[in-house]
Chains A and B, each alone.
Chain A
Amino acid sequence: MKWIYPILFLFIFNPCYSQDSIKTKKKWEIKGYIKNLEDISFDHSFKNSTSGNLLHNRINIKWQPTDELTAVAQFRNRLFWGEEIRLTPNFASQLKNENEQVNMSVTWINKPSFVLHTNTERFYIDYKKKKWSTRIGRQRINWGITTSWNPNDLFNTFNFLDFDYEERPGTDAAKIQYQVNDFSNIEMAYAFNGKNKQNTAAAKYTFNKWNYDFQFIGGMYSKHFTLGTGWAGSIKDAGFKGEVQYFFAERDSTDHLNLSLEWDYVFKKGLYANFSFLFNNRGLSVPLQNQNNINLHLSPENLMPTKWNIMTSVSKEITPLFSANAAVLYAPGTNLFIVLPSMRYNLAQNLDADFVWQSFFAKTNQDFNDVNHRFFLRVRWSF
C-alpha cells in the first residue's frame, strides 16, 4: 500500500492541481421541487368564492461535459383541478407562454375540471471560450435590475402578481456575450417571439464605475426602435436602482416610455424596506367605470395598466424559520390599490409553507370598493 503515498503527495501538493480548488462543478445536476398550491378567490364584498388546486413540479437538469459546454433542460409539470379550472373556458389553451415560438409543451390530460400540462421551460446549450460565450435555445434573457418592475427586460416581461412562477418564462433566442474586462461586457440577443415581425433584437453594454453598475440598451422590439438605460448603486447605505426604456413611435403606433426607480434599505434588526415607483406614459390615469375591464396583459411597453404606480414593501425575518412580507401598491389617478401580505414558514430543512394574500381595491365613480381577494396556501418540497 505504500505506493499510494507518493501519488497522494503529488495530488495534494502539485501546484498544477491548486486551481482545482476553485471548482465546485459536477458533470450532472438534477434538482427541482414539488409544490402544492391551494387558492380561493372572492369577488367584490366576499360574495362568491372560487377555489383552485395546483400540484406543481419543476425538474432542472444540467449537464456539463467540459468547462466550456453546458446543456440545460428544465421542465414544469402542472396538474390543475377543481372549480376554477371548470369555470375558466379553454383553460388548457391559456397555459402556453406567449414568448415561446416553438411549441414544446404537452397537455397530457384535458378534462373540464382536470388538466395535466408539461412545458419545456429551458432548453439550451451554452458555450464559453475565453472572453466569449453564446447560448442558443429556450432561455431567460434577464436584463432587469430593479425588483418590482423592469423596463429594461425586453425579452421576458412577467406579471409581478404571479408569485408562484419565480423562474419566469423563457424565450426562444440566441445570445452572444463578450467580456470586455472583469466588470464590463457586451451582450447581443435575438429572440423569436412567435408572431410575425414581432421578434426582438437588442444589444446591451454593462460596466461598473463609481460603485454603480450601469447598462445601456438599444435595439428593435417588434418593429419599434428602442433605447434604454439602467443602474444599481447606493446613496449612503440605501440601495438606489433605476431603469428607463423608450420605444419610438411608428406610423401605426405611439411612443412608449417606462421608468422605474427603487430605493431599498435594511434597518437594524433586519427589517428590509423597499420603495418602488413606475411611470408608464401610456397608462391609465383616470378612474375606470368598470374595474373588471382593467387589462393586466403586460408587455415591455406596458408594465402596468396604470400610469403612476408606487409600491412599498417591508419584509422581516421574525425567527430564522418564519418570515413575513407586506406590500402595498397604489396607482394615483385610477385609484387602484393592491394589498399583498405574505408569510413563510420553514417546516423542515427542505419543506416550506407560504401563505399569500392579494386584495384589489379601486375607486369607481365616487365609491372606494374592493374588487376581489385571493388567498393562497402553498407547501414546497425542494430537492
Chain B
Amino acid sequence: MKSIFGWLMLLPFWMHAQTAKEIVQKADSKMRGSSSIVEMTIKTTRPGWSRSMDIKAWTKGTDYSVILIQSPAKDKGVAFLKRKKEVWNWMPSLERVIKLPPSMMSQSWMGTDFTNDDLVKESSVINDYDHSIIGDTVIDNRNCYIIRMIPKPQAAVVWGKLIVCIDKRDFIELHTRFYDEDGQLINIMNAYDVKLMDGRLIPTKFEMIPADKKNHKTEMIYRNVQFNKPVDDGFFTTEKIKSLT
C-alpha cells in the first residue's frame, strides 16, 4: 500500500515533469509567433550619456524580417530587410537600396549591445544547446527554474554557456547570463514589466548589461506587440521597404 501511495504521490510530478529543453522551448515560443510585429524603443546607456531609438520590426517565420527606424530624425525611414541569407538596407536620403555583406550580420546593431543576429535571426536556443535544470530561484516574486545551456559540439554559436531563469508558471525568461568559451561572464540580460500584450503574458522591458563595463546598458522596451497577424510574403521585399513611411 505504502509503495502505491508513493507512486501516486509522484504521479503529478511525472505528468508535469518537463525536460529543461521543453521549458526553454515554451519560454522561447512565448516571445515568438509564426509572425510578429513589434514596436519598441532601444535605449543605449554609457557613462555620461544615453541615446534612444524607436523601431518597428516585422518577422515571419525564420526567414523573413523587416526593421524600420522611426526615430531619431536623422535615421527615420531607414529600413533593413532580411530574406533568408540576404540583407538589404534602404537609405531614404540616398533613395537607394544597398545590399549588405553577410559579415555585417554578426556585428553590433547601430551602437547597441545587440548584434544584427540577435535582432533578425531566429534564436538557436533550442537546437544548438544541451539543457539541464540545475536549481530554482525567485525573481520578482516569481518562482523560476535555473537552467544551464551548453552548446552542442558542432553548434556555431558564440557562447560557451548560458544560465537561464524561467518562470515556472508562465514560462517567462526573466534572467540570463551569457558566458564565453573560457567560462567568463560576458553579458547579463534581465527582463521586467510583465504585461499582457496581444493576449500573452510577456516581459515588456529587457536590459542587456555587459559584465566587464561599468555603467553600460542597452534596454529594449516593447511599446506594442502583435503575434500571428497575417503578413504577406510580398511585404518582405526591397520594393516594400522603400515605402514604409
Enumerate chain A interface residues (CB-CB to B < 8 A): 18-19, 21-22, 24-26, 29, 31, 33, 70, 128, 140, 142, 144-145, 147, 166-168, 179, 182-183, 185, 208, 211, 213, 232-234, 236-239, 241, 264-268, 270, 317, 319-321, 346, 349-350, 352, 380, 382-383
Contact in complex: A266, B86 (CB < 8 Å): no
Say yes or no: A21-B85 contact (C-beta < 8 A), given A238-B103, A349-B51, A382-B74. no
B58 contacts partner chain A, Cβ-Cβ < 8 Å:
yes
A349 to B53, CA, bound (A): 9
- Residues B72-113 near A (CB distance < 8 A): 72-74, 76, 84-86, 93-96, 98-104, 106-108, 110-112
CB-CB under 8 A from A267, the residues of chain B are 103
- Residues B18-38 near A (CB distance < 8 A): 37
CB-CB under 8 A from A352, the residues of chain B are 74
Known: A232-B99, A352-B74, A380-B74. 4 other contacts (CB 8 A): A22-B235, A142-B95, A239-B101, A267-B103
A167 to B110, CA, bound (A): 21
Contact in complex: B108, A167 (CB < 8 Å): no
Contact in complex: A266, B103 (CB < 8 Å): yes
CB-CB under 8 A from A19, the residues of chain B are 230
28 sample A-B contacts, Cβ–Cβ < 8 Å, listed by A number? A21-B229, A22-B37, A22-B58, A22-B231, A142-B94, A142-B96, A147-B98, A166-B93, A166-B94, A167-B94, A168-B94, A179-B239, A232-B99, A233-B99, A234-B101, A237-B101, A238-B101, A238-B102, A239-B102, A265-B103, A267-B103, A319-B46, A319-B111, A321-B49, A321-B51, A350-B72, A352-B74, A382-B72
B187 contacts partner chain A, Cβ-Cβ < 8 Å:
no
A192 to B196, CA, bound (A): 57
Contact in complex: B85, A167 (CB < 8 Å): no
Contact in complex: A270, B74 (CB < 8 Å): no
B65 contacts partner chain A, Cβ-Cβ < 8 Å:
no
CB-CB under 8 A from A182, the residues of chain B are 233-234, 237, 239
A123 to B222, CA, bound (A): 37
Contact in complex: B73, A383 (CB < 8 Å): yes
B244 contacts partner chain A, Cβ-Cβ < 8 Å:
yes
For B52, B86, B103, B107, the residue with the greatest tally of chain A CB atoms inside 10 Å of its CB is: B103
A142 to B96, CA, bound (A): 7
Contact in complex: B99, A241 (CB < 8 Å): yes
Contact in complex: A320, B101 (CB < 8 Å): no
Contact of A349 among B72, B84, B103, B104 (CB under 8 A): B72
B56 contacts partner chain A, Cβ-Cβ < 8 Å:
yes
CB-CB under 8 A from B244, the residues of chain A are 24-25
**Chain B residues bordering chain A, tally (CB within 8 A):** 47
Contact in complex: A25, B37 (CB < 8 Å): no
A147 to B96, CA, bound (A): 10
A185 to B102, CA, bound (A): 24
Contact in complex: B111, A317 (CB < 8 Å): yes
Among residues of B, the one whose C-beta sits closest to the C-beta of A25 is B245
B221 contacts partner chain A, Cβ-Cβ < 8 Å:
no
Contact in complex: A18, B229 (CB < 8 Å): yes
For B101, B233, B244, the residue with the greatest tally of chain A CB atoms inside 10 Å of its CB is: B101
B44 contacts partner chain A, Cβ-Cβ < 8 Å:
yes
CB-CB under 8 A from A265, the residues of chain B are 101, 103
Contact in complex: A350, B102 (CB < 8 Å): no
In the assembled complex, the CB of B59 is this many whole angstroms from the nearest CB of chain A, namely 13
Contact of B73 among A241, A266, A317, A382 (CB under 8 A): A382
User: Contact string, B37-64, partner A, CB cutoff 8 A, digits 1/0?
Assistant: 1000000101001011000101000000
A25 to B77, CA, bound (A): 10
Contact in complex: A266, B107 (CB < 8 Å): yes
CB-CB under 8 A from B98, the residues of chain A are 147
In the assembled complex, the CB of A379 is this many whole angstroms from the nearest CB of chain B, namely 13
Q: Which 10 A-B pairs have the closest CB atoms?
A: A320-B111, A239-B101, A237-B103, A382-B74, A232-B99, A382-B73, A266-B103, A237-B102, A182-B237, A266-B104
CB-CB under 8 A from A31, the residues of chain B are 73, 76
Contact of B95 among A70, A140, A319, A380 (CB under 8 A): A140
- Residues B203-245 near A (CB distance < 8 A): 226, 229-231, 233-235, 237-239, 243-245
CB-CB under 8 A from A70, the residues of chain B are 243
Contact in complex: A320, B46 (CB < 8 Å): yes
B70 contacts partner chain A, Cβ-Cβ < 8 Å:
yes
A277 to B46, CA, bound (A): 39
In the assembled complex, the CB of A88 is this many whole angstroms from the nearest CB of chain B, namely 27
Say yes or no: A33-B74 contact (C-beta < 8 A), given A182-B237, A237-B101, A266-B104. yes
In the assembled complex, the CB of A382 is this many whole angstroms from the nearest CB of chain B, namely 4
Contact of B51 among A167, A270, A346 (CB under 8 A): A346
CB-CB under 8 A from A25, the residues of chain B are 244-245
Contact of B107 among A18, A26, A270, A320 (CB under 8 A): A270
A208 to B51, CA, bound (A): 37
A233 to B101, CA, bound (A): 8
A100 to B230, CA, bound (A): 44
B162 contacts partner chain A, Cβ-Cβ < 8 Å:
no
For B52, B233, B234, the residue with the greatest tally of chain A CB atoms inside 10 Å of its CB is: B234
Among residues of B, the one whose C-beta sits closest to the C-beta of A146 is B98
In the assembled complex, the CB of B165 is this many whole angstroms from the nearest CB of chain A, namely 29
In the assembled complex, the CB of A126 is this many whole angstroms from the nearest CB of chain B, namely 9
A18 to B231, CA, bound (A): 9
For A142, A266, A380, the residue with the greatest tally of chain B CB atoms inside 10 Å of its CB is: A266
